[in-house]
A and B are shown apart, each in its own frame.
Chain A
Amino acid sequence: MSEHLLSLIIFIPLIVAVGVFFIPNDKTLLIKQVTLVATLAQLLLSLILFMSYDGSFIPSNWNEAFLFVEKADWIQMRLGQYGVFVIDYFVGVDGISLPLVVLSSFLLVIGVVSSWNLKEKVKGYFMLYLLLSTSIIGCFVALDLFLFYVFFEFMLLPMFFLIGIWGGPNRSYASIKFFIYTLLGSLLILIVMIGLFISVEDTQKALQLAEQSGRIELVHSFSMVQMMEGTYIYDSLLAPSSDVTILDIPVRYWAFILLMVGFAIKLPVVPVHTWLPDAHVEAPTAISVILAGILLKVGGYGFFRIAYGIFPDGAIEYAFPVACFGVVSIIYGGFAAMAQSDLKRLIAYSSVSHMGFVMLGLASLTYEGVAGSLFQMISHGLISGALFLIVGVVYDRTHDRKIENVSGLASKMPAYTFFTMLFFFASLGLPGFSGFVGELLSLIGGISAENVNGLFPRWLGMIAVFGIVISGAYYLWTAQRMFFGKYWTREESWDVKMKDLDVREWVMLVPLAVLVLLFGILPGWILDPVDNSINFFVDQVLSSGREIINNY
């Protein structure tokens, strides 16, 4: 089983989705149960993956960096003198994708539980949901850029429908905005993808094919490993030696910029973030959880694996602007969050702010910064997922999310208040919760980068520290307005509905709370197994980036 573990994790939901298709429409409970079992199986397998991942080795190049690798021929085209065009089914995990896979499968289970009370068009919803599960995991483990892109695009489709059909009143605007924004991002990524495809030669695959056919041919493939290793065809478009410039900027840097913009839309980074609040406000609770908890991380993962992994020279050259955008997101997102009166929008903006730490930490290219960046993604996935569930609790009861429409909930719903405060404080970076660790490590990276590798000045990191003040301000203010003071609701009819958490809500919130605390106290549980991967990533980006910059 272990040699096909990744494929199992990816495709179980897809297979189950086909099965769900044959369940009659009115057996909604069965559909839900089957979906739950499928996501649980996915979670179980990813836990097995995590447990059996042995991160103790130190890779010497990208070829060795991945475990659980599966590679199969998919499409091959011989085009005479242009060589062989190859697309492979190529998946594998390293320490950067592994935690994200586990996080995703965990949140996908939570998402099913959260949609348990869905009543309309149940079958369609859960089929799309399962499709989404497949493409999310696929995205994190794909090592073939084409495969990655397929999964990447396939996430868009179910997401578009899940928001557009099951969303709130303004859903069509939100889903189209979401779609166009992300499609634009995908387009930029596609351009670079094609550029890379024609510039990189896959020597490994060439040898492999030579064994069958007996002659060495030029092989173009989408293998990200080869792209990261940098086996470029001499003087091809994106080769380091290429002297093509557009507006005086070398084309490799352009490729880096396009990738960064493409993934920045996904992350999202100010100023390409405005789809996020709209999409969140209209999305059903479970989809918000998936959106904030996982889909944003695909953007971050794209930075790591594709932008930074393949264009390390761009990473070094543009460390300062990247960090700047991170810091601007932290501050700007925080301020914008404070101005919100809709609880869900507030949390959406706080995501923008917290994702800024991901960018800052990564830009620093120090061990702490990169580890912090990765950790922040995991921690934010858990915390923001939980926060959207928290919003869902009050929305389910009142169909209203306005902060000013309720107050003094603490006296009426103590358990709800407890969890809300817990996740608010986790999100504002109180030590003991995972949010603190991510922010601390990213900030260490941001402040110490000047001394470690001189990529950008330390005042940037110091400005980012101000973000913790802002997050404190909007969370505490919200907590006070909603939970403290005398109990009051805008509509008297809400009184009967304002019951404390039910069993389903406990089941969702308790595991999240436990994990957020656990990773806050023992962050090593996540970071120790992937230690070598992060070190390797940092070394590799710095050394090959410097090499390219110095030699060409």
Chain B
Amino acid sequence: MDSGALYIILLMMLPILAAVISTFFPARESYMITPMFHVIGIVSAYLVMDYVPIDVRWHWVANIELGMTLDRLNVVLVALVYIISSLVHLFSFHYMKDDPGIKRYYLKLAFFTVSMLGLLMADHLVLLFVFWELVGFSSYLLIGFWFKDKEKSTSARHTFMINRVADAALLIGVILLVAVFDVSKVSDVKLPEGGNPALLTLAGLMLAIGAFGKSAQFPFYGWLNKAMAGPTPVSALIHAATMVTAGVYLLARFQPLLAPNVMMVVGLVGAATALIAGVSALFQNDIKGVLAYSTISQLGYMMLGIGVGDYKASIFHLWTHAFFKAGLFLAAGSVIHFMHKANHGVDAQDMRNMGGLRKHLPFTFVTFLVCGAALSGLPFTSGFLSKEGILLATVLWANKLSPEQAWMGYSIMGAGFFAALLTPIYVSRQILLVFFGRVRTVFQINLGKKFEPTISVIVPLMVLVGGSVWFSVSKGIFDAHGWRLHRYLFPGRLTGIPEDISYYVFFASLLLTSIGVLIGYILFRPGSKKVAMYKESNILPNSIKGFWQEGWYVDRVYGVLNQGFLWTSNFTFWVDKQVVDKVVNGLGVGAVIIAKVTGVFDKYIIDGLVNFAASFFSGLGNVLKRLQAPLVQAQVAIAMVVVIVFMFWFLF
């Protein structure tokens, strides 16, 4: 094996190696070595940046030659996964330290990380699909981590099934591309020459549907909210920073193959999802629910970027989003941990029980503030830069569309901007409800104590805050294309961007976020009417607010489909019992009847004949007996036997 292959394999296997090693030590402290292994991973990814591409290929089966590769795009994402994963491993040490299943937890977490790394490094569509499924599987394991809780294990199952539907579509796409178009390399996607263009469109659409599933886009987005049943650090890693972006990564890679119609679908779905989820986020009462819907919404932005043809902007947003969203989730985890300790009796995730927490969790508060600002797209944050990049690309794209398609383009653009207005509203709502005002429940602990004592909480939050401010990603405060990694990732000249449009977009997004923050503040400032009534606010199940709160009732649609599924399955079994088996039994009964008839026939007609023959022969015998010697009878009998045997012989 050459050194490149070894490097790739080691780079992929580090997390599981760490987890396995730690399980050998009885002390819980041993899990502190897992983040250290991750640091090795980060350093290795950094060091290898200038030596890419390296790859390894091997024969798998049939004509399929699998391969893994490190190139510029995925080495950056590998580093990203390592960074977030290391912080999550570190944070989990605090979060899970009292859980009896910590061993299981770390193994599953490491398994996920390895699968995710494999997904990024896979250089064959089939291998990519393999890891695609494995990340889904490990996500299932982690969501259902507390399996004794029926609701949580149900959530895990629903999540897996919704993804499975999308994965079936992806599998069709993969097979079409690999077997029909001979496109299999992920790192080097070219439009195949010849071939049926309609079929290629179909293949592209199937890839897009697969991506919609994993990246929680319409109509699959319902699973992400359920995925929040898992431990919160897991949500930070899997359901915010890494796995859900796999769809974006896939489409970014395969963008050259996507037909214009498919691109339009991707853009439309992305914009629609950004809007749908943005609205739903406004009405959540669960602290993780808000973050889940905001993740869906941000993933919608990334899809929008792909759809309008600027996958670079999407990758940039993927990078910045990973930091600020992981930061928000870990901060939320810190809040939940605190709430759980402070009052066992109440739902630790329900914001109706929170309020005024900034006094108890100052550090968490700052994290939430900075990362929330980045999510809202406030200036001086990383989120501002990357979101502006996508909006700018959308405007440029809409301007270039033909007049017939322009209305569609401008609607998509409008949805994108409107979602940009919603984001700061729900972010400021959440911050105000959680950290400001007065607490809406009773704390049963000594509040003088510090609750963010350990390094395993402070370090991850600090790093993520650092990653969410502008200077860590870009030199220019307002330069949407100034990403430090832009040059490395996308060599070649930047295509000129009309300055005037660039300014319009800049001011428009600035204006929208300011308005959003203002609205959020007016509605939810401490002492406002809404906040005063918030503790008792219950949303009626069939109101329009209920409709939004429950994610536009997408669950009910799944429920109907599920019922249809069950109904079909019961119907199938009914057919089996009542039709197929009845036919079989009918045939059996028929055979029995024939047998009976034959029996009667046998008894009365054939036997009758035989008896008649017998009496005839015995009569004849009696006659013969008188004529011949007694031995004749025996001779006749022997002759008969011989004849019968011969007859059987020949008949056979």
Interface residues of A (CB under 8 A from B): 177, 180-181, 271, 273-275, 332, 335-340, 367-368, 371, 375, 408, 410-411, 425, 430-432, 436-437, 440-441, 443-444, 447-448, 451, 461-462, 465-466, 468-469, 472-474, 476-477, 479-480, 483-486, 523-524, 527-528
Contacts and interface: CB of A to CB of B under 8 A. Distances in A.
Contacts of B180: 447-448, 451
Interface string B121-137: 00000100111011001
Interface stretch (B77-85, B170-178, B618-626): B170-178
A468 B168 contact: yes
Interface string B561-590: 000011011111100100011001000100
Contact of A448 (B59, B160, B161, B179): B179
B572 A339 contact: yes
B172 A476 contact: no
13 contacts: A274-B580, A275-B584, A411-B147, A441-B61, A447-B176, A451-B180, A465-B171, A469-B168, A476-B160, A476-B161, A477-B157, A485-B147, A523-B61
Interface string B584-615: 10001000000000000000000000000000
B572 to A, nearest CB: 4
Nearest to A367: B62
Contacts of B137: 425, 430
Interface of B: 59-63, 126, 129-131, 133-134, 137, 144, 147-150, 153-154, 157, 160-161, 164-165, 167-168, 171-172, 175-176, 178-180, 565-566, 568-573, 576, 580-581, 584, 588
Contacts of A180: 588
A323 to B, nearest CB: 15
Contacts of A177: 584
Nearest to A472: B164
Contacts of B160: 472, 476
A480 B150 CA distance: 8
Given A177-B584, A485-B153, A431 B62 contact: no
A444 B172 CA distance: 9
B175 A472 contact: no
B101 to A, nearest CB: 10
Contacts of A336: 569, 572-573, 576
B568 A335 contact: yes
Closest 9 CB pairs of A and B: A339-B573, A431-B130, A484-B153, A448-B179, A338-B569, A335-B572, A485-B150, A523-B61, A335-B569
Nearest to A411: B148
Chain A contact surface mostly: helix
A436 B61 CA distance: 12
Given A368-B179, A484-B148, A443 B581 contact: no
Contacts of B161: 469, 472-473, 476
A349 to B, nearest CB: 8
Contacts of A451: 179-180
A440 B584 CA distance: 34
A410 B153 CA distance: 12
Contacts of B581: 274
A457 B40 CA distance: 51
Contacts of A335: 568-569, 571-573
B130 A527 contact: no
Nearest to B153: A484
A430 B133 contact: yes
Contacts of B165: 469
Given A335-B569, A339-B570, A443 B130 contact: no
B580 A271 contact: yes
Nearest to B179: A448
Nearest to A471: B164
B63 A367 contact: yes
B153 A432 contact: no
Contacts of B569: 335-339, 474
Contacts of A474: 569
A447 B576 contact: no
B339 to A, nearest CB: 25
A368 B573 contact: no
A465 B168 contact: yes
A78 to B, nearest CB: 14
Contact of A468 (B164, B178, B571, B573): B164
B584 A443 contact: no
Contacts of B133: 430-431, 436
Nearest to B144: A484
A432 B175 CA distance: 18
Nearest to B157: A476
A340 B573 contact: yes
Nearest to A445: B179
Contacts of A437: 61
Contact of B175 (A340, A448, A473, A480): A448
Nearest to A366: B179
A447 B148 contact: no
A191 B175 CA distance: 40
Given A485-B153, A523-B61, 8 more contacts: A367-B62, A408-B148, A410-B147, A436-B133, A443-B171, A444-B179, A447-B175, A480-B157
Contacts of B147: 410-411, 483-485
A523 B64 CA distance: 11
A275 B171 CA distance: 33
Nearest to A520: B130
Contacts of A469: 161, 164-165, 168
B134 A431 contact: yes
Given A411-B148, A431-B129, A473-B565, A480 B154 contact: yes
Nearest to B171: A465
A332 B572 contact: yes
A483 B584 CA distance: 36
Contacts of B59: 524
A367 B61 CA distance: 11
Which of A432, A444, A474, A523 gathers the greatest number of chain B CB atoms within 10 Å? Answer: A444
Nearest to B130: A431
Nearest to A340: B573
Contacts of A483: 147
A242 B319 CA distance: 71
Which of B160, B176, B571, B572 gathers the greatest number of chain A CB atoms within 10 Å? Answer: B572
Contacts of A332: 572
A486 B16 CA distance: 30
A325 B165 CA distance: 23
Nearest to A439: B171
Nearest to A417: B147
A432 B130 contact: yes
Contacts of B164: 468-469, 472-473
A472 B131 CA distance: 17
Contacts of B571: 335
B569 to A, nearest CB: 4
B148 A524 contact: no
A189 B626 CA distance: 54
Nearest to B585: A177
A335 B571 CA distance: 9
A465 B164 CA distance: 11
Nearest to B170: A465
A437 B61 CA distance: 9
Contact of B178 (A444, A473, A476, A479): A444
A181 B175 CA distance: 37
Which of B60, B171, B569, B580 gathers the greatest number of chain A CB atoms within 10 Å? Answer: B569
A486 B148 contact: yes
Nearest to B165: A469
Contacts of B150: 484-486
B566 A480 contact: no
A85 B569 CA distance: 52
Which of A335, A337, A410, A432 gathers the greatest number of chain B CB atoms within 10 Å? Answer: A335
B198 to A, nearest CB: 12
A337 B149 CA distance: 26
Nearest to B60: A524
A273 B573 CA distance: 12
Contacts of A410: 147-148
A465 B172 contact: yes
A486 B149 CA distance: 7
